[in-house]
Structure 1
Amino acid sequence: MAGLKTYRGKRRFGVTAEPKGKVARKRGHAYVIQKHAATRLHYDLRLELDGVMKSWAVTRGPSLVPSEKRLAVEVEDHPIDYNKFEGTIPKGEYGGGTVMVWDRGTWQPHDDPHKGLKKGHLAFDLEGAKLHGAWHLVRLRKRPGEKRNNWLLIKSDDEEARAPRDKDILKEADFSIKTGRSMDEIAQGKRATANEKSTMKKVLTATQRKMAALKNPGAKKTRTKAASAQLVQKHDTLSDRKASPLKGAKRAALPGFVAPCLATLADKAPDSAHWIHEIKFDGYRLQARLSRGKVKLMTRKGLDWTRKFTAIADAIAELDVDSALIDGELVVEGDDGVTSFSLLQEELKSGRQNQLVYYVFDLLHLDGRDLRPLPLSDRKEALAQLIKRAPNSSPLRFSESIAERGPILLKHACQLGLEGIISKRDDAAYHSGRGHDWIKTKCTSRQELVIAGFVPSTADAYAVGALVLGFHDKGKLVYAGRTGTGFTHLASRELYKKLKTLKRERTPFATVPAEERGVRTPIWVEPKLVAEVDFHGWTHGDRIRQASYQGLREDKTAADVVREDKPANKTIAAKSRTTARKRSAPVKKRASKDSKNATVGGIALSHPDRVYWEDAGVTKRDLAEYYKDVWTWMAPHVAGRPISLLRCPEGASGQCFFQKHAAAGIATEHLHLVPEKGDKIISVDNLGGLLSLVQAGVLEVHTRGTTVDDRENADRLVFDLDPGPGTTWKDVVAAARDVHERLDALKLKNFLKTSGGKGLHIVLPVAPTPWNKAKEFAQALAQAMAADDPDLYVATATKSKRKNRIFIDYLRNSREATAVAPYSTRARPGAAVSTPITWSELGSLKGADQYTLLNIRARLARLRQDPWAGIGRIRQKLPNA
């Protein structure tokens, strides 16, 4: 009753035909949108929760374009019976006007909806007749005098999203989903025309097809198409081939445990007959043993982890067989469909199991028959048939084997942001241990390393800032370098607690490595914990490059961790040509290449292996290769603009200095030098110019908001949100949304990027505007925010006034001021990158340094379009300050 008190108090039910309704006892997930022509036309979004319909008035209606946020004003709860209401509310009554049931169906929150409503971010899926996919409601900060809660309704960038030029769903399907009528016909009490009924039928038919597709065997509802699914759909799979009977499988008792077949690392994927390929998953290898309804889940070392994954064990128990021994990998998939070891760890720590998926790829034993001697193709066919009979809701997934050339498939896998592929001989038996029947090729290097020490975080004395890593070689622990990225704050604190109990006085290495003799000497620990680390190869000194922490490996012991070396592919090819499965002799390590000089993009680099970021293992060569890869994304925002440089010849942890003009130490043959005030300012016009800056130790590139040819006028303004002491990341996000709303209200299109430091940058492209007018506008906006909410914002640079406030830095908008360029690295821990993002990504962003040189390329490979597409064509005039 209490939930509908406000609703009932606003209506006279003897006059209006709206239902009086009641709070429902039976709880469901109903969803409805009603088009409402009241004083102002709007669309009412209603989501069932706790027996009522939580309601928002969406002023311009929902949009399928992720970049188009729609204001949604929170209104009173409505009864569930209201979902059926379609008709006219008499004039003079509350909400007087015509109401249409525009869409209806069901909704499903991504997480606890009560927590989402409380914290101001409700993420959910819609399955209606017209609207589908993932959506977000994000609450805005109240302004002085506001009584109601204002939210933004945002479409997620998934398969159901549309581009700005696509048809508007509000115009395309402007009819009642209940009766097929238009607003005029509802107001006049008419019936729908034959043409309108036909249009409605088409929409409903398309919806029915979509619902039927979700019910297909093996189908899984996802918020976005999984990257692995995209890869499988592009190529023929083993399941497309003719089924093979299980001939030759002999009767045998079900083993208690079989040591798993392990893949050998290679630098190239096999490109010959009799090889099939699978997606390389990033999780825990598990063997599932089923015997008369009893299930055991075992790690690669035979440890019993059944109690850890009860949901998977229950799914195995439901399989339509008496006994089986299955090989597979336990994973969690991110929103982009890519499996993630770190997400798996988060899921396990939370105590939940609803996101766990068990991908199965081999069948060793089935109903009293030993399948290991059979060809892989036969084993996989039997496994596919077994999994097809599992319920649709099962967390079991069959890992498809793709019949495609290995190098082509690997290229596609890397473009989708996957870890790599596993290649297998389709005619090979199942052999325990590491051999050459299974080959793994990776998009980046990844392996387990032993934690030998740690350095506390500079921001939190009870958290880990970097790990010292090693591997075993002939019984000795060998130094492998450091990693200082990949930690969440929670993970770094938990690591600190575990490592603190393992402290020791002396290094576990034979001697203290030269890199660890300095100011920040690590705290040494007993080498017992194993970390999963992603990195970009080894330096000539056997150090990992660009390393990123992924999580702890509880399924592997420290003593088993050795360096994974890639064998020559000719060795693999020779092995694949013989049916005899003899163990090959260990392949000798090839001598390292001369690292005194290198050439990247036509630019000579001296000392290419000089480390620029010690915590991430990033070298000069790495930085040059990064800029070569992202130049097409970066060029529109850098080329032809005056730039300033932050040079750090000894790396990010060494002494750095700012430079605005051409000077000694920088080769100028690839740079564009422009005379100004008796000196020469710098600009780059091509990749060669940027790479020559890398050679000079430039770790940051800053640009002016103008072009070289028109330096007296601004064409881009930057609002730098700089958080002061005592503020949180949520405060920065709220401030960014505040700036965004104010600029949107002025009909000024604006763009967003991370700073790579602590804050965010809102970038405003404008028609060429004199600098004095540009600065006046930026200052006026900053001062308006500070005046409206002085407890949150400050518009002066005075440090004493910035405690618990965010400085709206407008001072970058003057003739010679600069801001860090999009896609420029920062001379900060972890090799952070200033990264353009869409406004729809802001809610899921974890920090301003989330994207680094280590992970930015994987992000760009997954993007369907440039987050800043079209920014260079926008010429909007500034209003008067």
Structure 2
Amino acid sequence: MAKASEAFVQAGDREVRVSSPERVIYEATADTPEVTKLMVAQYFADAGEGLMRALRDRPTALERWPSGVREGFTLATGPQDKDAEAFYQKRIAKGAPDWVESVEITFPSGRKAREICPTEIAVPVWCAHMGTLTFHPWPVRSADVDHPDELRIDLDPQPGTTFADVVRVALVARELFADLGVRAFVKTSGNRGVHVFARIRPEWEFPDVRHAAIAFGRELEKRDDGVTTAWWKEERGERIFVDYNQNTRDRTIASAYSLRPLPGAPVSTPVTWEELAGLSDARALNLFTVPERMADGDPWAEIDDVAHDLTPLLELWEADPRELNYPPDHPKMPGEPPRVQPSKKVAEHWDADGNRVEP
């Protein structure tokens, strides 16, 4: 029997084995050549400190595409997707090297698991060997997994909006953060969206940080009528949705310098605010172009320099403490509106606290 092919990538002080290095993960496009598994692993090694700045000491779910990215391939989001080609891995794999650390986290259901917690660049390179393209870190560190240390503002474009609309709203978000005395950092999502991050002191629990995100979104709505915090898609219209629930336990955003499973190997890329203002096509930020940018420095190099106080946003929340819907995998929360589309809601079937009342 022929021996399976393999290659080794230098990642920090370790040589990391990569099986099937010639496997094509991204097919060639009109603008980019094909990308092999070895190229993915080498990209993560080259991303180095920038990637580790996003992942270090954070419990991290892996988005694995072991057969690569192809038209028609799908990502499993639940047990109903058993035939999907890609999946999320939220538990450390059996047989992981002993230098791959993990930390126990608690899901919204109360169940617990040990999730990968990268501590060195060799870890994401090993994850590439496992078919990982995108890293989904929690907004917490291993020393305290119940108190987030960053606020994440996910600007999600809805049908009928453009990337230019997202950029406009992101720049308004920057002004709002500045008015609150917060230095915010921005990156592309690797697709059509934009993510704005701010480090915070790890003194508040997940519900508090989520409420701060809701308050931020409502203030953003006041400054730009092209913004919405409406949870139900039928109510969003052609506006930019502030996905406040990305600050909820076990909800995560693709990390800085992660690849995305789209043609051309796009990267979720940190940019300066000045770069964002002039950016027209985020797809130009990909596996082939981002390493050259990083040679000139990381726009997020100073993100850990200051941890901000969340109190001003929590005071805004307290001034208007209207709860919004949680994700469907979370237990029903106090004050949460009914979990039914507004167009399908029958008023007499729900009490004032959003609980179902049997007729």
Instruction: Tell me the TM-score normalized by structure 1.
Output: 0.31
Check conservation: 1:755, 1:849, Cα contact below 8 A. no
Q: 2:22 aligns with which of 609, 613, 622?
A: 609
Residue 657 in 1 paired to residue 87 in 2? yes
Q: Which residue of 1 aligns with 2:345?
A: none
Partner Cα distance (1:762, 1:678) in 2? 29
For the residues of structure 1 that align with 2:212 and 2:308, how far apart are their CA atoms?
Answer: 13
SS state at 1:669 partner: coil
- Which residue, 259, 270, 286 being the options, matches 1:836? 270
* Aligned twin of 1:451: none
Looking at structure 2, the residues matched to 703 and 777 of structure 1 have their Cα atoms a distance apart, in angstroms, of 20
Q: In the alignment, which residue of structure 1 is the partner of 2:175?
A: 741
Counterpart amino acid of residue 138 in structure 2: R
Pair 1:621 & 2:38 matched: yes
Q: Paired residue for 2:320?
A: none
SS at match of 1:734: helix
| Residue in structure 2 matched with residue 13 of structure 1 by the alignment | none
Alignment counterpart, residue 779 of structure 1, candidates 214, 218, 223: 214
Contact 2:154/2:196, CA 8 A, preserved across alignment: yes
- Residues 248-286 of structure 1: CA deviation (Å, up to 9, x unaligned): xxxxxxxxxxxxxxxxxxxxxxxxxxxxxxxxxxxxxxx
One-letter code aligned to 2:43: Y
- Counterpart amino acid of 1:612? I
Amino acid at match of 2:306: I
2:146, 2:104 → 1: CA distance? Answer: 14
Distance in 2 (alpha carbons) for counterparts of 1:595 and 1:830 = 27
Deviation sequence 1:37-62 (CA, Å, 0-9, x none): xxxxxxxxxxxxxxxxxxxxxxxxxx
Does the residue aligned with 1:714 lie in a helix, a strand or coil? coil
Match for 2:17: what amino acid?
Answer: A
The reply on whether 1:646 has 2:63 as its aligned counterpart is yes
- Indicate the residue corresponding to 1:567 in structure 2: none
- SS at the partner of 2:293? helix
Q: Say if 2:151 is the partner of 1:717.
A: yes
| Aligned residue pairs, count | 284
Name stretches of at least 5 consecutive residues in structure 2 with no aligned partner: 74-84, 106-110, 317-359
Letter in 2 for 1:617: E
Following TM superposition, by how much is the alpha carbon of 1:670 offset from its aligned partner in structure 2, in angstroms? 3.4
Q: Which residue of 2 aligns with 1:533?
A: none
Q: Deviations over 1:181-206 (max 9, x none)?
A: xxxxxxxxxxxxxxxxxxxxxxxxxx
- Decide whether the 8 Å contact of 2:45 with 2:122 is kept in 1: no
Superposed CA offset, 1:496-516 (max 9, x none) = xxxxxxxxxxxxxxxxxxxxx
Asked whether 1:877 is paired with 2:290, we answer no
- For residues 787 and 802 of structure 1, what CA distance do their matches in structure 2 show? 15
Counterparts of 2:280 and 2:253, CA distance in 1: 22
Q: What is the CA–CA distance in structure 2 between the aligned matches of 1:668 and 1:811, rounded to whole Å?
A: 34
What is the match of residue 809 of structure 1?
A: 243
- Separation in 2, partners of 1:678, 1:781: 31
Distance 1:846 1:778 in 2: 27
Q: CA separation in 1, counterparts of 2:171 and 2:124?
A: 33
Query: Contact between 1:759 and 1:848, CA under 8 Å: does it hold in 2?
Result: no
The code of the aligned residue for 2:6 comes to: N
Q: How big is the shift at 1:787? A: 4.8
| Cα separation, 2, equivalents of 1:772 and 1:779 | 10
- Equivalents in 2 of 1:726, 1:659: separation in Å? 33
One-letter code aligned to 1:871: I
8 Å CA contact retained: 1:639, 1:684: yes
Is 1:671 aligned with 2:82? no
Q: What per-residue deviation string (whole Å, max 9, x for no partner) do you get for residues 515-560 of structure 1? A: xxxxxxxxxxxxxxxxxxxxxxxxxxxxxxxxxxxxxxxxxxxxxx
Q: 5+ unaligned residues in a row in structure 1: which ranges?
A: 1-593
SS of the residue 1:811 aligns to: helix
Determine if contact 2:172/2:223 at 8 Å carries over to the other structure.
no
Distance in structure 1 (CA, Å) of the matches to 2:179 and 2:219: 14
1:710 CA displacement: 1.0
What letter matches 1:610 in structure 2?
A: R
Question: Is 1:633 the counterpart of 2:43 in the alignment?
Answer: no
Q: Provide, for residues 217-241 of structure 1, a one-character-per-residue CA deviation record: whole Å limited to 9, x for no partner.
A: xxxxxxxxxxxxxxxxxxxxxxxxx
How far does residue 850 in structure 1 lie from its aligned partner after superposition? Answer: 2.6
Find out whether 1:597 has 2:6 as its counterpart.
yes
Change (3 A) 1:843 1:789: closer
Question: SS where residue 67 of structure 2 aligns?
Answer: coil
Any idea what SS the aligned residue of 1:812 has?
helix
Report the AA paired with residue 662 of structure 1. Answer: I
1:810 is displaced (CA, Å) by 1.5
Q: Which has the larger radius of gyration?
A: 1
Higher RCO, 1 vs 2 (CA within 8 Å, ≥6 residues apart) = 2
SS of the equivalent of 1:786 reads helix
2:141 maps to 1:707: yes
RMSD: 1.8
Q: Distance in 1 between matches of 2:112 and 2:54?
A: 26
Q: Do residues 851 (structure 1) and 285 (structure 2) align?
A: yes
Q: Is the 8 A contact 1:652 1:699 kept in 2?
A: no
Say whether the 8 Å CA contact 1:700–1:824 is kept in structure 2.
Answer: yes
Deviation digits for residues 695-743 of structure 1, max 9, x if unmatched?
Answer: 1101111111111111111111111111011111221111001111111
Opposite residue 307 of structure 2, the aligned amino acid is R
Counterpart residue identity of residue 743, structure 1: F
Correspondence list, 1:507-546, <5 A:
none
Structure 1 residue 784, shift from structure 2 partner = 2.7
CA positional deviation for 1:619? 0.5
- Distance in 2 between residues matched to 1:628 and 1:729, nearest whole Å: 30
Amino acid in the other structure paired with 2:118: V
Distance 1:675 1:728, change over 3 A: closer
1:768 aligns with 2:202: yes
What's the counterpart of residue 323 of structure 2?
Answer: none
1:410-559 superposed matches below 5 A? none
Cα distance in 2 between the residues matched to 1:808 and 1:598: 42
Partner SS, residue 284 of structure 2: coil
Any conservation in 1 of the 2:16–2:126 contact (CA below 8 Å)? yes
Distance verdict in 2 for CA 1:678–1:731, change over 3 Å: closer
> How far does residue 780 in structure 1 lie from its aligned partner after superposition?
0.8
User: Is the contact made by 1:715 and 1:768 (CA closer than 8 Å) also made in structure 2?
Assistant: yes
> Residues 560-579 of structure 1 correspond to what in structure 2 (within 5 A)?
none
Q: Quote the Cα distance in structure 2 between the aligned partners of 1:789 and 1:874.
A: 28
Equivalent in the alignment of 1:118: none
The answer (yes or no) to whether the contact 2:50–2:301 under 8 Å persists in 1 is no
Q: Measure the CA separation in 2 of the matches of 1:673 and 1:709.
A: 12
For residue 789 of structure 1, report the CA deviation from its aligned partner.
Answer: 4.2
The separation in 1 between residues aligned to 2:60 and 2:179, in whole angstroms, is 32
Partner-residue secondary structure (3-state), 1:769: coil
Matches within 5 A, 1:170-209: none
List per-residue Cα deviations over 1:133-177 (Å, max 9, x = no partner). Answer: xxxxxxxxxxxxxxxxxxxxxxxxxxxxxxxxxxxxxxxxxxxxx
Match of 2:200, SS state, is strand
Measure how far apart 1:814 and its partner are. 2.0
- Aligned counterparts of 1:793 and 1:800: Cα–Cα separation in 2: 14
Distance 1:846 1:595, change over 3 A: farther
Quote the Cα distance in structure 2 between the aligned partners of 1:718 and 1:679: 23
CA contact (8 A) 1:760 1:848 kept: no
